Amino acid sequence: MQKYQHFEPLKVFLEICAIPHASFKTEKLKEWIIQEARKANATIQCDKVGNVLCSKGKPKLCLQGHYDMVYVGDSAAFEVKPKFVKSGNQAILCAENSSLGADNGAALASMIVALRKSRNIECLFTIDEEVGMLGAREIALSLQSPYMLNCDSEEIDEVVVSCAGGYDLECKAELETFEIPQDCDFLEIRTQGFRGGHSGIEIHKNISNAILELAKIAKSLVECGALVVKFCGGEKRNSIPTNALLQVAIPRDKSKLYQESLEKISTIKLEDSACFEVVKVSLQNARYFNPNALLQALLGVQNGVIVSSQNAPILSSNVGILQQTDEAGKIQVSFVAMGRSNQESLMQENIKKETKKLEALGFCVDLIDVYAPWEREESALLNTVWEIVSKQNPRAELKSIHAGLECGILKQKYPSMRFVSVGPSISHPHSLNEQLDLESFVRFDEILQSVLERFQAF
């Protein structure tokens, strides 16, 4: 790792690792950024939400990164202990028992170094990107540069030129409950081995959706006379669900059905080796509800890739959360279908279509957290970045990603600005296995230097 000993951005990144900056707890890193910007003689502007803009001279280019990280770790308090490892001839930085925060800390380090060296530059540090891009959504800063280079991509050989917009359709219905007849057996069916995944980046991989696969089972049980007591599942609205649970009551006079169901369900194996576990349970004071509208909605709402172009998804949807709350003889069922699209018109069309369909089934549909896609646009910045990156690696690619980047939101706030996104190679971000490829970090820094030079930063 000697090779990297004198690489300035790495030194700065190791400094950042020691400062707490989990999302919503970024105060310490904010203070550090301001202090570093002062030392670099930059002018500093902060807005109410906590975005920080540092500028010098007459900038033509703004570098942008987020200063919060997804902290996953064994220790409850923030503790990131970076560790160098070698894998083949690849030099990697990871962390002992926590996420590393190279997303977006590595880029922040390069931005701080660039701020020190440049005469004309803007560096925008946004807050709480990882928890719904809150900083970008509420930004209230005046930028001077006509171009912005977002530094939050995760693959050095890709220049990102477009990202998806998104929305959540929150669907709710209130249902009546009924007393369960005497002489029923109760079954609980749980999902097992569903692997889940990112609802945008991995939506094209045909990963089984735990909620929807269990909804198919619920439907076949209901058709045979089972009574649905509880149905819920999912972890996050923006991930493909790995867990779901269904509780049903089966009248004893249908005990043949009971046996058959047990056998049938336990032999179901989905393509990706996900399966179901059936257990007999006893439920006190349970009530049942008519699940037909819910099942029709879940099985009728679009899920997975809806439209693709050149083998990449450009419109998709993911049913991520299904909840049930019981109150005074009524239950409320709700689920969230999160849609993404790289084309604004496709997205708007789909919102209308899906809302109409769900409302017709008696659901109250709320459209929330809408943000526009960032569509590809030609610009002097794109030409320059592409020239530099493709010279560094002739196999590099221009890429549209089917996930959100702050560019989408910032483009709405600064419509005349032109954007491009790059970043060092980071694998498994947001997890204990997060890894930063050090060679790509050096290459990323070289790209920044060259772009800054072309935009008269020095």
Q: How far is the CB of 129 from Zn ion (least distance, A)?
A: 6
Q: Tell me the C-alpha distance between 120 and 56, whole Å.
A: 5
**Hey, what's the torsion of the CAs at 212, 213, 214, 218, to 10 degrees?**
90
Q: How far is the CB of 432 from Zn ion (least distance, A)?
A: 17
Q: How far is the CB of 68 from Zn ion (least distance, A)?
A: 9
Q: How far is the CB of 132 from Zn ion (least distance, A)?
A: 13
Q: Which is nearer to Zn ion, 104 or 261 (CB)?
A: 104
DSSP states of 198-262: ETTTTGGG----HHHHHHHHHHHHHHTT-EEEEEEE-S-TTEE---EEEEEEEEGGGHHHHHHHH
Q: Which is nearer to Zn ion, 104 or 449 (CB)?
A: 104
Task: Output the 3-class SS for 88-142.
Answer: CCEEEEEECCECCCHHHHHHHHHHHHHHHHCCCEEEEEECCCCCCCHHHHCCCCC
Q: How far is the CB of 214 from Zn ion (least distance, A)?
A: 32
Q: How far is the CB of 403 from Zn ion (least distance, A)?
A: 10
Residues in a beta bridge with 444? none
Residues with Cβ within 8 Å of 383's Cβ and at least 6 positions away in sequence, in order, are none
Backbone angles phi, psi at 275, to 5 degrees: -150, -170
Q: Which is nearer to Zn ion, 66 or 237 (CB)?
A: 66
Q: Which is nearer to Zn ion, 105 or 291 (CB)?
A: 105
Q: Which is nearer to Zn ion, 13 or 194 (CB)?
A: 13
Q: Are strands 82-87 and 227-233 parallel, antiparallel or unpaired?
A: unpaired
Q: Which is nearer to Zn ion, 67 or 363 (CB)?
A: 67
Q: Tell me the C-alpha distance between 39 and 37, whole Å.
A: 5
Q: Are strands 244-251 and 227-233 parallel, antiparallel or unpaired?
A: antiparallel
DSSP 3: G
Q: Which is nearer to Zn ion, 104 or 316 (CB)?
A: 104
Question: How many other CB atoms are there within 10 angstroms of residue 397's CB atom?
Answer: 12
Q: How far is the CB of 236 from Zn ion (least distance, A)?
A: 16
Q: Tell me the C-alpha distance between 20 and 348, whole Å.
A: 39
Q: Tell me the C-alpha distance between 408 and 401, whole Å.
A: 11
Q: Which residue is nearest to Zn ion (CB)?
A: 103
Q: Which residues of this protein are in contact with Zn ion, per CB under 5 A?
A: 103-104, 152
Q: Which is nearer to Zn ion, 122 or 434 (CB)?
A: 434
Q: How far is the CB of 204 from Zn ion (least distance, A)?
A: 21
